[in-house]
Amino acid sequence: MTRFALALPILMFLWLPTAHADEAAPPPDQPVNQDGYTAEEIYSVASDFFGNTTEGVAKVIERVFAEQGRPVAYIVGEEASGAIGVGLRYGRGQLTYNDGASMPVYWQGPSIGWDFGGNASKVMTLVYKLRNTQDLFQRYPGVDGSLYFVAGVGVNYQKGGEITLAPIRTGVGLRAGASVGYLHYTRKESWLPF
């Protein structure tokens, strides 16, 4: 059963659609427009991405806006993770700026803690204080506590320098626990979680 719990999200991830490069991708050193998205714009994107925006997703977005303000970009994508004490998470998505420029983004990382099971999630990550696109590509430590049983909504913060990421996840699977780890955001897909 424990091998199945770890293998299921990895197999699910292999079937996730691959993000495609958009010709409007900004150069790595291009400054990011700091005007940011309004809450209404993010609700609209969340509604399109998650299907219908549930009350849980709306409350999470409201909370993140109250704590962090207006995001300068967002990432929408999918991820899969599994853990038996030690865990792995892999994801891919599309980074989008409020001027319409976008590009594919990948993330992967290990975790350790009291964490068991596996899940596949749709993820919308709100991006704060990103000055240049290149600055996104680094490791972001974070603490993750989650309970997924059939469906759920969760958010946690990841911080790297001035940049803060707020991944909002809705997932399916059986996952319970709390863990500490990091996610490494990259331009290219990698199976190495380090």
191 in a structural domain: no
Percent of the chain predicted with pLDDT > 90? 42
* Residue 167 resides in a domain: yes
Domain presence at residue 62 = yes
- Each residue's pLDDT tens digit, 114-133: 777 788 889 999 999 999 99
Residue pair 180/139 in contact (Cβ under 8 Å)? The answer is no
Confidence of residue 94 (pLDDT cuts 50, 70, 90): very high
Question: What is d(CA 30, CA 11) in angstroms, rounded to the nearest whole number?
Answer: 36
Is 193 domain-assigned? no
**What's the rounded mean pLDDT across residues 148-157?**
64
Report the CATH number at residue 95. 2.40.128.480
Element (H, E) at 73: strand 73-97
Of 13, 19, 58, give the one whose Cα is nearest residue 40.
58
Helix, strand and coil content of the chain, in percent to the nearest 5, comes to 20, 50, 30
Whether 21 shows a pLDDT value over 50: the answer reads no
Cα separation values, 98 from 20, 36, 70, 71, 74, Å = 18, 7, 11, 9, 9
pLDDT (tens digit per residue) in 68-82: 999 999 999 999 988
Number of domains in the chain: 1
Q: Are 168 and 63 in contact (CB under 8 A)?
A: no
Answer whether residue 76 is part of any domain: yes
Whole-structure pTM value:
0.79
* 47 in a structural domain: yes
- Residue 64 in any domain: the answer is yes
Do 105 and 76 form a contact (C-beta atoms < 8 A)?
Answer: no
Residue 23: pLDDT over 90? no
The domain in which residue 46 lies consists of: 2-186
pLDDT band at 192 (very low <50, low <70, confident <90, very high): low
| Residue 22 within any structural domain of the chain | yes
